[in-house]
């Protein structure tokens, strides 16, 4: 089906079962550095109650996790987040959020199995935490879009400056979002789906 023109999502389902009309399910992954808002995005966009594996941060993480810029953060994802959203009556996305701390990145292999693409969520206050994440996606050959989570105190930069800072190729989409808002998070997923569609379309 052609989802390039989709601008609405089917509303929250009354139950967790897939709709009978669903003909295609697509797995995508939300990645990013520690504290950029991955759990928030998955939770805001999911039409079912999201599965989270957040745990209270303890002293064991002191000196291991870099809390610069997110000093008030008190919990962290230790395995994954999971949600589901219907792009249309026929197309459903399974959305998996990855842990942000590097010590949990060994879980990526399982989370990326079968994934068609990824969203890289970034915080302009701490762009450096996204460098290795993007490098890992490029090494895996996973198509991705970049979503700038607009925290209230985050500096705004022109798209071309962000592209240069993140060393992105010209075709990689960059969008701004508020991960707390369902419609904003939805638009990020639609951007990824349109990008995947364009990549799969025959040349010419």
Angle at which helices 38-45 and 182-200 cross, to 10°: 90
Q: Cα angle at 133 between 46 and 103, to 5 degrees?
A: 90
Kindly list the distances between the CA atom of residue 35 and the CA atoms of 10, 14, 96, 148, in Å, as whole numbers in the listed order. 29, 31, 16, 13
Domain boundaries along the sequence of the chain? 24-59+74-199
C-alpha distances (whole Å) from 114 to each of 45, 109, 157, 165, 170 are 21, 10, 34, 30, 26
24-59+74-199 carries CATH number 3.40.50.2000: no
Q: What is the pLDDT along the chain (204 residues), one digit of tens a residue?
A: 444 444 444 444 444 555 555 568 899 999 998 889 999 999 999 999 888 765 454 455 445 445 455 445 444 544 578 999 998 888 899 999 988 566 556 666 778 889 999 999 999 999 999 999 999 999 999 999 999 999 988 899 999 999 999 999 999 999 999 999 999 999 999 999 999 999 998 865
């Amino acid at each position: 089906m052609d989802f390039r023109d989709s601008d609405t999502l089917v509303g929250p389902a009354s139950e967790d079962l897939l709709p009978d009309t669903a003909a295609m399910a697509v797995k995508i992954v939300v990645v990013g550095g520690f504290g950029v808002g991955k759990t928030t995005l998955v939770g805001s966009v999911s039409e079912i109650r999201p599965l989270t594996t957040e745990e209270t941060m303890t002293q064991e993480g002191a000196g291991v996790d870099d809390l610069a810029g997110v000093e008030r953060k008190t919990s962290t994802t230790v395995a994954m987040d999971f949600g589901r959203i219907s792009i249309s009556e026929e197309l459903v996305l399974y959305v998996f959020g990855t842990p942000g701390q590097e010590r949990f990145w060994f879980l990526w292999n399982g989370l990326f199995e079968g994934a068609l693409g990824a969203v890289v969520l970034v915080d302009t206050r701490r762009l450096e935490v996204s460098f290795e994440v993007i490098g890992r996606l490029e090494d895996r050959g996973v198509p991705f879009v970049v979503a700038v989570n607009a925290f209230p105190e985050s500096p705004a930069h022109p798209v071309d400056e962000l592209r240069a800072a993140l060393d992105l190729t010209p075709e990689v989409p960059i969008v701004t979002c508020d991960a707390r808002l369902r419609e904003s998070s939805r638009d990020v997923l639609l951007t990824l789906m349109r990008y995947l569609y364009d990549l799969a379309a025959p040349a010419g």
